[in-house]
Amino acid sequence: MLVSVRAKVVEGYTLADSMREYPAIFDDLFCSMVAAGEKSGHLDAVLDRLADYAEKRQALKSKLQQAMIYPIMLTLIAVGVIGFLLATVVPKIVDQFVQMGQELPASTQFLLDASNFVQNYGVLLVSAIVLSIVGTKLLLRKPAMRLSWDHKMLTIPVVGRVARGLNTSRFSRTLAICSSSAIPLLEGMRVAADVMSNKYFKKQVLEASDRVREGASLRHSLQQSKLFPPMMLHMIASGEQSGELEQMLTRAADNQDRDFEGSVNLALGVFEPLLIVFMAGIVLFIVVAT
């Protein structure tokens, strides 16, 4: 890939145009900033900013992935243990009651029914879950479905807070980098919208850019979306008034990064104990019923 980019540059293409041949590697942000750096003659400074941005974005992504490993593993272990108990241990214990001719208590009968269901329909149940996941992913490829899904995700108490923190951080940091690279505000907002993972967030930012084009301030345009936190909007307004929008956007991005990490920790702090209590309750019920 790098050899091909170099060959394009040698042929007379600009570096930005050469990079656009590989959109899977170089997104609009990278290409737009490199193009601005080439026009302004400050390509070295632009590349330094891009390197810092890429490092911070990767660090944020790594933190999210690492935070998700433990709850996912815990969930898989919980499902595996419960499935193993229902499919193997419970039937053997219940058989002893049957052989002794004792009437099964209601809780034990319920457990036996659950065990029979897992044995008879366990494979079908797992298949149905897998098909549901695959079907959901296919449906989310449709723009209208994805937009509706992402909008609903923002309304879920804990999940919505995490999504807001991630997308507002990406927006403010991307726009700050674009501003520092002399990219016009409207173009910077378009680029910032493209790096957002939430399609509803992206739609609202693009609508905000339309309001900016009509003459509204950035702060007022973003406020109408009702997605950005008041502190961030206040910092943007301060930056617009003082002429230091780039610096205030960077500070806002740092604040949103911290808020995002706090939201992730809160979500895990709520989910992990609930999952442990749920698993312990299921195991306790199995022990008491048998």
Does residue 199 sit within a domain?
yes
Residue 175's nearest CA partner among 278, 256, 242 is 256
Provide the number of structural domains found in the chain. Answer: 2
The tens place of each residue's pLDDT in the chain, 290 residues long, gives 777 878 878 888 788 788 888 877 877 777 777 877 777 677 787 788 788 878 877 877 777 777 778 778 888 887 788 777 777 777 777 677 667 766 667 777 777 787 778 778 878 888 998 999 899 989 988 999 999 999 999 998 878 888 888 889 888 888 888 887 777 888 888 888 888 889 999 999 999 999 999 999 999 999 998 899 999 999 999 998 888 888 898 888 888 888 888 877 777 777 778 888 887 887 777 777 66
- Is the CB of residue 162 less than 8 Å from the CB of residue 260? yes
DSSP states of 14-32 as a string?
Answer: -HHHHHTT-TTTS-HHHHH
Does residue 196 sit within a domain?
yes
Q: What angle do CA 258, 211, 188 make, to 5 degrees?
A: 50
C-alpha count within 13 angstroms, C-beta hemisphere, residue 250: 13
Residue carrying structure tokens 């790098």 = 2
Q: Give the separation between CA 117 and CA 87, rounded to whole angstroms.
A: 9
- Is the CB of residue 193 less than 8 Å from the CB of residue 202? yes
Residue type, 185: L
End-to-end distance of the chain based on CA atoms, in angstroms? 63
Residue 230 lies in domain:
151-272
Does residue 251 sit within a domain?
yes
- Is the CB of residue 189 less than 8 Å from the CB of residue 209? yes
Does residue 124 sit within a domain?
no
Does residue 30 sit within a domain?
yes
Structure tokens that stand for 210 in this block: 């339309």
> Which residues, other chains included, contact 221 with Cβ-Cβ below 8 Å and sequence gap of 6+?
208, 209, 211, 212
Does residue 26 sit within a domain?
yes
- Is the CB of residue 176 less than 8 Å from the CB of residue 182? no
CATH of the domain at 216: 1.20.81.30
